[in-house]
Amino acid sequence: MLLDRALGRPKAAAEQRALEWEEAQALFRRLFLGGEELEVSRKSAERLSPVAAAHRILSNSFGLIPFGVYRRNGEAREPVRNADLDRVLKERPNPQMSPYLCRKVLMSNAFWRGFGACWNQRDAAGRLTGRLPLPTECCSIRYDREVGAYWYDYDVDGVRRSFAAYELSLLYFETYDGVRGRGLLDLAREAVAADGMAQRYGKKFYQNGARITGVVELDTHAAPETREKVRKEFQRFSNQDAFAVAVLDHTMKYTPIGLNQRDAQFMESRAFSVEEISRFTGIPRHMLQTGRESYDSNAQQRLNYVTDTLLPYVVQWEQEDGYKLLTHRQRADGWYVRGNVEVLLRADPATRAGFYEKMIQNAVYCPDECRAKEEKNPIPGGLGASFLATKNLGALASILKGDA
């Protein structure tokens, strides 16, 4: 019947022989999945829109965050100017990449493979000369029992090299032992596979003209010419538009093979996959282009994304670079690495103005510091370098003395 045509079998195959259950299963897999087992890999996962969006958002966000070196000087925190560090952190970590692209590739490797590694290149004198993100898929981790240390063996285009842990700055997407990472494909394999199956089902559904094949049953034994007539009649309806109506004679009964879109809740299943990816990555649903939250709710979720999802990666990278990028003497002098997540929290002009107003009137920022955040020059004459406070505020000591 129609099942024969959909499966590409000879016209009379389903009418002349019975199918074993295993063979029937294979035919259904061919109908809905093209006869292929779904491969859960980076190549297949990046074709799914929620996974691709999560990867793009997380890698772009991490790439946007500027990292710099600062020094503790008593209670003060001062930016450090160092030619080697400024070059790799702010100018060019290697000839092929900008600092943004270097961090983006690093997070991309962590997202897919569980961890990203950045090789801190140094000359014979120990001077930092560059940074290069290494492809995680080319890495195998080896434990050396004699020295009690882990080695990272890379094989890239036939070139092999082993790195000690102190040569690499490592960023983990998730890890349970601090050595081996777990990426999205490890954590969300079933969710990615389910979404991939739903997407393939939808493709097959629309390729069939949004119609499901089926079987026509007859209560009596029909002559070959009768069966052929029934087959041609249903084939005529199936070749018309999706809303054609077939009329059955006598005791004929049509049984569709498979589920329709409503029963399968196809669209709901795709929406659920977005929620699953949101849970695994910590990215709010509205950033994955779903959900109907209000503007205020979306703004709060974006703040939660920065503080709860992105900030742990930033702190991890600050501590990793602070230990492996800086020398022992620099750390002893109070040097440390810090990432500025404020670039991701820049709101609309009215919100920023209200924030600056509170920071200035409570002497957290001086006017020149707020102007610098807006890429504006200091107030002439040094007038913006003074810290201000409203008159209704005073020191606790002054209040106790009755001076305020």
Per-residue pLDDT of the chain (404 residues; tens, 9 = 90+): 333 443 344 444 434 455 566 766 676 666 555 544 556 777 878 878 888 899 999 999 999 999 999 998 887 788 899 999 999 999 999 999 999 999 999 999 999 999 999 999 999 988 999 999 999 999 999 999 998 999 999 998 888 999 999 999 999 999 999 999 999 888 877 777 776 666 666 666 555 554 546 666 666 666 777 777 777 766 665 555 544 555 556 666 666 655 555 545 555 555 667 888 888 899 988 888 776 666 667 677 888 888 899 999 999 999 999 999 999 999 999 999 999 888 887 766 777 788 888 888 888 888 888 888 877 888 888 888 888 777 676 665 665 566 65
Taking a C-beta distance cutoff of 8 angstroms, is the pair 78, 71 a contact?
Answer: yes
The CA distances from residue 376 to 129, 152, 341, 343, 350, in Å, are 33, 46, 20, 16, 17
For 242, the 3-state DSSP assignment is: coil
Taking a C-beta distance cutoff of 8 angstroms, is the pair 188, 272 a contact?
Answer: no
Supply the pLDDT for residue 232.
73
Quote the pTM value. Answer: 0.70
Buried b / exposed e across 25-59, counting CB within 10 Å, b at 16+?
eebeeebbbeeeeeebebebbeebbbbebbbebbb
The two beta strands, 159-164 and 149-156, are antiparallel
Supply the pLDDT for residue 11.
44
Supply the pLDDT for residue 105.
96
Taking a C-beta distance cutoff of 8 angstroms, is the pair 113, 45 a contact?
Answer: no
Residue 121 DSSP code: E
Supply the pLDDT for residue 224.
75
Taking a C-beta distance cutoff of 8 angstroms, is the pair 30, 9 a contact?
Answer: no
Supply the pLDDT for residue 190.
77
Taking a C-beta distance cutoff of 8 angstroms, is the pair 69, 336 a contact?
Answer: yes
Taking a C-beta distance cutoff of 8 angstroms, is the pair 39, 193 a contact?
Answer: no
317: CB partners within 8 A, 6+ apart: 67, 169, 171, 337, 339
Supply the pLDDT for residue 272.
65
Q: What sign does the dihedral 163-183-173-199 (CA atoms) show?
A: positive
Give the tokens for residue 107.
Answer: 């997070």
Supply the pLDDT for residue 345.
74
Supply the pLDDT for residue 383.
85
The two beta strands, 214-217 and 128-134, are unpaired
Supply the pLDDT for residue 317.
97
Buried b / exposed e across 255-265, counting CB within 10 Å, b at 16+?
eebbeeeeeee
Supply the pLDDT for residue 6.
35
Q: How far apart are the C-alpha atoms of 282 and 9, rounded to whole Å?
A: 47
Q: What sign does the dihedral 288-293-296-300 (CA atoms) show?
A: negative
Residue 319 burial (CB count, 10 A): 12
